[in-house]
Chain A
Amino acid sequence: MNSKELLLRAMHNESVERIPWVPFVGCHAGNLIGVTAEEYFRNSDNIIRGAIKAFEEYKPDGLPVTFDLQVEAEAIGCKLVYSDKNPPSVATHPLQEGKSIEDLKIPSETDGRFPIVLKAAKEICKLLGDKIAVYGLVIGPFTLALHLKGTDIFYEMMDSPERVYELMRFCQKVSVNSAKMYIDAGVDVVAIVDPMTSQISPTSFEEFVSPYLTPVFDYIRERGKVCSLFVCGNATKNIESMCKSKPDNISIDENVDLAYAKEICQRYGVSLGGNIKLTLTMLFGTPLDNIREAENLMEIGGKKGYILSPGCDIPYDTPPENIKAITSAVHGEVGEFMRQDIKNSLEEIDVVLPDYKNAKKVIIDVITLDSGSCAPCQYAVEAVKSAVEGIEDKVEWNEYKIKEKESIIRMIKLRVPNIPTICIDGEPVYISVIPSVDELRRSIETAIKRKGI
């Protein structure tokens, strides 16, 4: 099964052998290819080069064509302000400036930056579409309504709801048409990105958003593609309403507890993506912070219907090493990543491994990130502790945390590819797998017998 098939299965809430990984690379691609965010967003060749570079560097299972929630708004008439390091911002709201809904036109392939984005979508699908799933990102009806109307929409929701319904009907048509254009360009997944729905209550979501979202999802499914709903912000209260709007998948940011969202999504048969912290972890954290967070999220998300991804689009200046660290955790290549990452500073350190064969006890090495902060690592250590109960005189065990350089050397010498790994007498036996206490106990007893202890 290739990356694309893996991702699409997970999106359809199926069990998969490895958790798929989708880095939401938008303006960050500009950084990867050495151009500003504005140069990236305004040029299809830059968008294509950025996607290819992200594909090569981050080994994803899926990638968005780009991540710009302003394309539709600009094509309809909102003025944008471009920036060197961020996506463009909406500076004007046509419906606040005397225009009416009748004056607004549903954008086509030739409006605004659609020619740029769609050209990039076609080319990216051609170049990468047989290997990974390509996402077309479409602005959600509610966020588009806010772009067009401004914050006055919140008052109209109370005072003149029928005017909001009318605006939402227009925005729904825009979303359907954008989805159509992306699907015609060849994308596999259409994500409706509606972050501003985190600003309203579940009651308002069901009144003002769901009736206009569900037909968009229906259209995408009719075209044989996968539909996803992205939100950002604290959407905890709306997760259930989001699921009821019938997307195949939802994607959440760091403000929502992944375990909570997972439980609700599974109840509705909806798959879930998320929610690596963008600022604390990806932008400002270390590679180890990123590995730790990826490991923890994958532990919670599990292998059924879960996609590892950032909470929203990756900031421009995010160190590529941090994203590669996540990639290494996904692909079981943490050992190799750590060796590459710090090889120069390891030269002066040496670690002598025990003489496992002739040692008078069975030696268990648990290689972790840190059992105090990495959930799977904690479970591995707890499994070992329980499994050796009553046979401590025959077994010696130690935890080696790879945040210490000596432990990285040990990890490399033991040929441990990923964390957590439980080694028995120098052999990696349980790699990224937490055995049951009984199973581990049996493995240890076999080793004891082998040594004749």
Chain B
Amino acid sequence: MGVKVDIVFLEEPCSACLIIFNFIKEIMERLKGKYNFLEVNYIEIKKLEDLHSIKGLEVEKFPAIIIDGEQISAGTIPDIGEIEKIISLKYREALRCPG
């Protein structure tokens, strides 16, 4: 039982998106070290059709962060404190409703 984080990013981002993606990766690696129930997946978009299969993606700006199927950011560096709050909330929900 854990919390699933999907980071959706473009295979060929512009310079700005690339910088943001690297910061998001750093934040996620930090959080992974802190919360052992966190599962982080990186989903690379190679063509537009790839977008249709991503559950929870609503705003098509990248990099996007989706936590347990809910998109929480699009094209921005998130606040690590906010991410931690959401992760904790999702974990408590998962504990209350296992499966």
* Residues on A facing B (Cβ under 8 Å): 26, 67-69, 85-87, 89-91, 143, 146-147, 150-151, 154, 193, 195-196, 198-199, 232-234, 253, 255, 278-280, 283-284, 311-313, 315-317
Contact = CB atoms under 8 A, between A and B. Distances in A.
B19 interface: yes
Contacts of A312: 14-17
B17 A232 contact: yes
B76 A86 contact: no
Most interface-central of B14, B23, B27, B47 (chain A CB within 10 A): B14
A232 B12 contact: no
Contacts of B10: 279
Contact of B23 (A151, A255, A284, A311): A151
A252 B79 CA distance: 24
Nearest to A314: B14
B23 A89 contact: no
Given A89-B22, A146-B23, A255-B75, A316 B12 contact: yes
A10 B47 CA distance: 36
B77 to A, nearest CB: 5
Nearest to A199: B77
11 contacts: A26-B15, A86-B12, A87-B15, A87-B18, A90-B19, A143-B19, A151-B77, A233-B20, A233-B76, A255-B61, A316-B12
Contacts of B23: 146, 150-151
Contact of A85 (B12, B19, B20, B79): B12
Given A151-B23, A199-B76, A233-B76, A85 B11 contact: yes
B80 interface: yes
Interface of B: 10-20, 22-23, 26-27, 47-48, 61, 75-77, 79-80
A394 to B, nearest CB: 48
Contact of A196 (B13, B14, B16, B27): B16
A284 B46 CA distance: 10
A195 B16 contact: yes
B76 A151 contact: no
B11 to A, nearest CB: 7
Contacts of A313: 14-15
Nearest to A151: B23
A339 B75 CA distance: 39
B15 A232 contact: yes
Nearest to B14: A312
B76 A253 contact: no
Most interface-central of B13, B18, B76, B77 (chain A CB within 10 A): B18
Contacts of A143: 19
A356 to B, nearest CB: 43
B75 A151 contact: no
A67 B16 contact: no
Nearest to A280: B48
Given A85-B12, A151-B27, 12 more contacts: A86-B12, A89-B18, A90-B19, A143-B19, A154-B79, A195-B16, A196-B77, A199-B20, A232-B15, A233-B76, A284-B48, A317-B12
